[in-house]
Amino acid sequence: MEREEAYRLVKEKVKNKNLVKHMLAVEAVMRRLAEELGEDVDSWSLAGLLHDVDYDSTADSPERHSQVGATMLEERGVTPHIVDAVRAHNPHHGLPRVTPLSKALFAADPVTGLIVAAALIHPEKNLSALDVEFLLNRFQEKHFARGANREQIMSCRELGLPLEEFLRLSLEAMQEEADNLGL
């Protein structure tokens, strides 16, 4: 599946504009991680863009989220390594994440929420005002952005990336997409 076809599918299946922005943010982070780690940029970007394609149809049953999406992608001929990463990104399933792609997607998903929340509480209310130190401070605050699972974000270490480096790469990726993300 090419990027434009994937984006059309996202627009067709996902009606919540903020969720689409989240998917674009994860796409950007995954692209940057692939570049940094010498992986397939197109595959990693697609996994980020498509990872929540089923969210509207599974919002009331989180145990189905990512299973429905993976099946949907499989039926559309998306390569198995992307399908597997999408399926494994939902921690409800407890599926093993054995490939660098699946490990990266698992860590990238919540970090975008942390970064967006940090931008929204910053006096300037935009991504360009953020730095890694600000993110690290927010990361340590247990009550800040509770939905951004810290343990999941810390799984970046499975990719050989310390937290600070992972936050830097993620922030830079999202800053490059700030206009598309509305931040």
CATH classification of the domain holding 17: 1.10.3210
User: pLDDT tens across 43-71, in order?
Assistant: 999 999 999 999 999 999 999 999 999 99
Q: Give the integer Cα–Cα distance in Å for 11 and 13.
A: 6
Q: Where are the alpha helices (DSSP H) in the chain?
A: 3-13, 17-37, 41-50, 55-58, 67-75, 80-88, 100-121, 132-140, 150-154, 163-176, 178-181
User: pLDDT tens across 70-113, in order?
Assistant: 999 999 999 999 999 999 999 988 899 999 999 999 999 999 99
Among left, alpha and beta (phi > 0; psi -120 to 50; other), residue 88 is alpha
Q: How many distinct structural domains can be found in the chain?
A: 1
User: pLDDT tens across 3-32, in order?
Assistant: 999 999 999 999 999 999 999 999 999 999
Q: Give the integer Cα–Cα distance in Å for 20 and 7.
A: 9
**Predicted pLDDT at 117:** 97
User: pLDDT tens across 121-179, in order?
Assistant: 999 999 999 999 999 999 999 999 999 999 999 999 999 999 999 999 999 999 999 99
DSSP 32: H
Q: Which domain holds residue 177?
A: 3-181
